[in-house]
Every structure is written in structure tokens, then in C-alpha cells.
Amino acid sequence: MAAFQTRLCVLLSVLSVGKVCALESYVAAVYEHAVILPNVSLKPVSPAEALSLMNKNMDVLEKAVAGAAAKGAHIIVTPEDGLYGFFFTRETIYPYLEDIPDPEVTWNPCTDPKRFGPTPVLERLSCMAKNKSIYVAANMGDKKPCNSTDVTCPKDGRYQYNTNVVFDAEGKLVARYHKYNLYSNEKQFDTPKEPQLVTFNTTFGKFGIFTCYDILFHDPAVALVTNLSVDTVLFPTAWINVLPYMAAIQLHSAWAMGMGVNLLAADTHSTFLHMTGNGIYAPDRPKAYYYNSETEDGRLVLAEVLSHPRLTSLSSVSWSEYARSIAISSSKSNQFSSPGSWDNVTFTRLDQAEGNLTTCQTTLCCHLSYKMVKRQDDELFVLGAYNGLHGSVRKYYIQVCTLLKCKSIGMDSCGEKTETSVTMFEFFSLSGTFRTSFVFPEVLLSGMQLAPGDFKVLSDGRLVSQSSISSRPLLSATLFGRWYQKDPPPKENAIKQQCSV
């Protein structure tokens, strides 16, 4: 359909000079890239050596761009750190950086490569887009000189930014975004003074862009959607999977549903660093995704999505309505905490094949009604509640209600990573007394599979299963809430923050 619409738009553009044809849908592509890494060194390499490594990675990305274009894609997103990898200092990353101008200058690096000095990376990315007539989003490093008149100027006289760039189908630079929420081992980069809300318009919708760890914070992620009404977010990431409720495909698909936008997530691939999880997510369901923690294979994923998908946003859900309307109480004698969890989650065992349970932690009470198809004696499921700060370096406030499988039948394994299950549920209904309106619904099946069509969210805040869930083993069902107003002030957080959760 999207390819037909494109041909029709071209024809109409020829017949109607000056008019732009808007597409109702388009084909999106994301590429999960196993990055070719430099040798670890405490000394900077030469600019020629840095470019040689980046060209090796761009050789791979160029094949992905060509493959996506050949299949009719209008836009492709490539991952964070996809040109050079990780583990740099400020000095060792410097040879990989280019000075990226503001897109307001109206520049096509492919046709005018010398305008802003030597920019071979920008030139090559631009030519990928131009030669294949496709929008290309990539992640690279930006450098900006500064001096003592700027009181925040680093001692080495330059700002260094983790940066996303976007080129249109003619190769023109249309977007530049500096990552705002850095993680602890990104000390090679600087934090921008203010979060940037970067958008650009196309014939197939309005786009926004941010990077990896940004998705967990209000600025720029939520502000970009709520203030600027984008249709699709481009999301280069180097996401480290953290189960039970913060794996890439799990959380990213939930964010798209909760915010009512398309999310095009391109992940870096590294089994050593637990990085995998490519996806094209629409508000109603994941359209396509890839998760592979066994081999070092990259993967191109494509899917057709609506250009203007804001039809199913969960903004109108009253997340605490049902849980507050019923008489719920929890017995502390049945509750426990597990050292296997990253947080001090309060758990209650599902000891029966069916029932109603409530687990509370401070002001958050989580309620579960459920019935298993058949209870397995060698698998333990629990209902968990967590209400508090999360994160080892950068703290942020979450409220979580989760039904999950423990790694073993030992209670101390609850919260540890596990990817398989054999237990099936005839139905479940999960709700909680949330104090935030930003709650993201997650359902994950055995084998790290998403569950489109197997669940829905009711207007009173219940996450409920559909009939099709009964034939597929469940790994977890979670309501992941972000209470942004409870995040510590920036001065109490580390200013510099790769994307782990």
C-alpha cells in the first residue's frame, strides 16, 4: 500500500505543480548493528585511523540502507554508537568527531562536502540517503569549540556531544539532536545546557528524535510528544536489557502504546553487553521486532505504519480507578523481598492455580485476578509491587505492578533474568493504585516474544488478557509507571550519565 501511495504521489506531484502529496502510511526500517569496535587504547588514534574504522561500520550500514530502500522503505534508523562503539575517554573519542552544523543552514553534504570543512562521515551518510532516495537517521559525535567567555566551557576548549543526525531523501541535513540524558560511562560526552526538542516534517508525518536513556525521562521524550505532537519518534539506542521489566522490546513497545506514537527503535547488537532489541512499534501493537541474545548477527527489520497514528493513546486511562474502587488488602505474612531483583520489590507467591491477590509497597497496592490453565509445580510466579527510586547512578522514580515468573522455584531467584516459561494463564487482570498518569503496559511471552492482540488496557486502569493468551506461555505482565515529578532534582543526580537501566 505504501509503495502504491508513493507512486501515486509522484504522479500527482507531476500533474499538480507546487502541491505536496501526503502519504497515509509509509514503510519504516530499523537496523540492529553488531558494531566493529576499535582496539582498546588509552591514547587517541589518528583521524585517518578513526575514519578507517567508521568506514568499516558504514560499509555495513550502507548495505542495510540499500536493502531497506530496495524493499520500499521511506526511512531507516541506525543505532546509537553504530559508527565506533563504546568505552572512550574525552581524548580517545575526539578523532571520531565532526563539527555538525545546525540544519537551519540548509546543507547537503553529498553535493557540497567542503562547505564546512572536512566532514567525511556526514558526506557519506548524506550520499547514502541521496543515492537510495531514503531518509537516513544515524548516531555520531559532534564537536563544538568554546572559550573562556563561556563559563561552562570544558578545560579542553570544546563541547563533545552524543549526536543523532537525519538526512532527507535528497541527502539534505534536516535534523541534529544532542543527547541530553547521558549514562554514567559516557564521560566522553557533554550534557547540553538544555534538552532539545528536535522535529522535522515529511510527506508521511511529523517526526521527533531522541536517544536511548532519554526515553526514561520527561525531557525530552514526553515533552516532544505532548508539546509538539509528533507522529513518529526515531530512537537510536544502545540498550542493555534488564529483565524482568526493562528489556528493550518490552519497554519500547509499551512506551509507544502509552504515548500514542510510532517508535522506530534501532539497537546496537552485542551479546557480551546484553544489547539486542530492534523494533517498529505502533500505538496499537508492535509491527515488527528482533531479539537475539544468542548470536552476533545484525538484522534489518521493516514494517508499514500509519503516518498519523494518534488513535489509540492511553492518555485518557484512569490508571488507579479500578484498584481504588475495590476493597483490597494484603497479608504481610505472605510477602517477601528477593535479592534477585534490582529493586527492593515486594512479592507475593501465586500458590494456587487461580485466585485474587494484592501486594502493597508504601502507597502502591497492586491487585491481580488470575486463572492458570494448569499450575506447574516446577515454576514459581509472583505478584510484585515497587514504589520508589530506581537506578544505580542516575535515580528516577518508578511505580511498578508486575506478574512475573521467577528464575527457579526458589524465592531468592524472583527478579533474576529468565527468558522461558511453560505456564499458561486462562486469564489475568492486573491493576494498581498509581499516582502517575504515565503508565506503560507490558506483556512478555516465553522466548522473549511480545504479545500483540493478547491483552488490552481498560479505561479504569486494568491490564487484562485476551482469550488468545491461554495458548501461549507467559513470562511477565507489567504496568510500568514513571512518576516524573518525584525524580530527584538535577543537582542531586549525576550530571553525566551508555544506556543501561
Q: Could you list the active site residues? A: 80, 179, 212
Q: What is the CA radius of gyration of the chain?
A: 23
Helix residue ranges, H only, 135-262:
223-228, 248-259
The CB density around residue 14, as the number of other CB atoms within 10 Å, is: 8
Q: How many CB atoms lie within 10 A of CB 406?
A: 24
Alpha helices in 238-360 (DSSP H): 248-259, 321-325
Q: Which three cell numbers stand for residue 361?
A: 509497597
Pair 33, 82: CB distance under 8 Å = yes
Residue identified by cell 474502587 is 325
Q: What residues contact 463, with CB distance under 8 A and at least 6 apart?
A: 429, 430, 431, 441, 443, 455, 456, 457, 477, 479
Task: Transcribe 168-213 into DSSP letters.
Answer: -TTS-EEEEEE--S--TT-TTSPPPSS---EEEEETTEEEEE--GG
State how far the alpha carbon of 438 is from the alpha carbons of 63, 218, 313, 370, in Å: 39, 10, 11, 25
C-alpha cell at 290: 528482533
Dihedral of alpha carbons 413, 418, 421, 424, sign: positive
Can you name the residues that pair with 303 across neighbouring β-strands? 28
Shortest CA distance to 170 belongs to which of 131, 120, 138?
A: 131
Three-state SS sequence of 227-239: HHCCCEEEEEECC
In terms of Cβ atoms closer than 10 Å to its own Cβ (0-12, 13-18, 19+), residue 120 is middle
On whether the CB atoms of residues 199 and 206 are closer than 8 A, the answer is yes
Residue 457: helix, strand or coil by DSSP?
strand
Whole-number Å distance between alpha carbons of 389 and 487: 8
Distance CA 376, CA 353 (A): 9
The length of the chain in residues reads: 501
Closest CA to 286 of 464, 497, 442: 442
